[in-house]
Structure 1
């Protein structure tokens, strides 16, 4: 495990100064990474995808718990150093690690040496939701995930219809998986400490797809419905679909409702019509 001293030593060795642009806040608390791995419900057969491993704090906790770990890192110095850190800190499990130098938003299944069954990651706050949605779409083998994100983002990802914070991230993640919050994470476990609190989100992919409806069409309707939250569906979807009232009537949806009142199944019914 990497404690505060080891994290700062590695950062100094690499000349790393954490940047806001890459969303770099390195975890230096061993208890926190143990908590994350426990909450991920991994089995010895799981192949874990970690996005943004950084200096390797979480990676070292994942290696003994999984069959293999695929770490996707965008920063070359960090990606190049990670295998050495694994060999130094956990030589017994170091061979389980695969490091991919790439932007997670551009990763496809062809980029990976093995196909992951779970994602466990401390995600940069500014791209957390897009990364999760991209990977769930591109990697159908991903069956579950546990991600650490900004607390406000965690709330939105796990929100249910009718909530004030229910919105686009809630619906789009619900298309792929059932999500729920898995606990808070304080600021003092990071270096440097962020200006916001963090939270854990657990999600499990649906056993079978909710619908065969075109995903792009569905997501466009969701985006339109939440573009101006105070508007009714009739007003929000006008200009995006033809014959709004007739369409919503066929879907069995009240045109006076707002997007925040609809479940992903409701949005699917609209898209199918």
Structure 2
């Protein structure tokens, strides 16, 4: 696989860009594990973020899915055209578009999938520098995906999956788990990529669930979460009171005590469920 990809890159005069965070996944075994984790067939419409050389694109299409692959780097266009033009059975199921995934209309793609009577998935070996922005865009915008499976930096995956708090958790942990069940699937070693990144990677999957609060309460709840983590070394009561969002230090300490939590608790000691309970207590006064 590596020799084939290197030849294609050379033929199309593509030098991988560090600035764009390009690390192509080459390990065939890992690619097949990703495809199996997706479990897609002809009943799925998949948007792939970061198509690169198109090797995951091809695997997903071979499984029967319709794949809309996004690639920021226009230099890959000729490579895609030459490879998939010769792949008669796959070409009708694969569409490429070239641009920034952060500007892509995922909601429109979900509507297209629905029109076709297919389930909607998002997958990608994404540039690590856009992970938080991409997940936030898709999750917070209520894009109705059935499954989202992303290969990302291991530490970011740990943070996103931290539903129950802990040192890895942050405001984004609470917010993403508010909308989704997040599961870490498996780690991917550096040697699986070309060129190898400086960090370890992890495959993480997201599945939507019903949010625990109605839309008109979410902004106030997220403001509480953001305030709590704004100064994570401080006690949660001090951090929240300092933001001036309507909750005083004593109110927060009292609510924490009623929940059986120490008034000196820090934000990382609470998970999604504890934050929801704290929010309910503070707004029942």
Q: TM-score, normalised by structure 1?
A: 0.87
Query: Whole-Å Cα distance in 2 between the matches of residues 17 and 168 of structure 1?
Result: 37
Equivalent residue for 1:210, pick from 199, 204, 212: 212
Matches within 5 A, 1:12-91: 12-79=10-77, 81-88=79-86, 90-91=87-88
Query: Whole-Å Cα distance in 2 between the matches of residues 218 and 98 of structure 1?
Result: 39
Q: CA deviation at 1:224?
A: 2.3
Q: CA deviation at 1:197?
A: 1.3
The 1:266/1:32 distance shift into structure 2, 3 A limit, reads same
Number of residue pairs matched by the alignment: 269
Matches within 5 A, 1:131-170: 131-138=134-141, 140-170=143-173
Query: Whole-Å Cα distance in 2 between the matches of residues 201 and 263 of structure 1?
Result: 19
Unaligned runs of 5+ in 2: 114-118
Q: CA deviation at 1:128?
A: 1.1
Matches within 5 A, 1:192-207: 192-206=195-209
Given the alignment of the two structures, is residue 120 of structure 1 paired with residue 123 of structure 2, yes or no?
A: yes
CA contact 1:108–1:138 (8 Å) conserved in 2: no
Equivalent residue for 1:175, pick from 171, 178, 184: 178
Equivalent residue for 1:246, pick from 240, 248, 251: 251
Query: Whole-Å Cα distance in 2 between the matches of residues 71 and 228 of structure 1?
Result: 39
Unaligned runs of 5+ in 1: none
CA contact 1:83–1:99 (8 Å) conserved in 2: no
The 1:204/1:235 distance shift into structure 2, 3 A limit, reads same
Q: Name the counterpart of 1:93.
A: 90
The 1:31/1:243 distance shift into structure 2, 3 A limit, reads closer
Q: CA deviation at 1:52?
A: 0.7
Equivalent residue for 2:234, pick from 231, 234, 250: 231
Given the alignment of the two structures, is residue 265 of structure 1 paired with residue 273 of structure 2, yes or no?
A: yes
Provide the secondary structure at the position in 1 that maps to 2:7: helix
Provide the secondary structure at the position in 1 that maps to 2:112: coil
Q: TM-score, normalised by structure 2?
A: 0.84
User: Whose radius of gyration is greater, 1 or 2?
Assistant: 2
Q: Name the counterpart of 2:116.
A: none
The 1:210/1:64 distance shift into structure 2, 3 A limit, reads farther
Q: Deviations over 1:21-77 (max 9, x none)?
A: 211001122211101011123243111111011111211111122431111221122
CA contact 1:109–1:138 (8 Å) conserved in 2: no
Query: Whole-Å Cα distance in 2 between the matches of residues 218 and 183 of structure 1?
Result: 32
Query: Whole-Å Cα distance in 1 between the matches of residues 219 and 17 of structure 2?
Result: 33
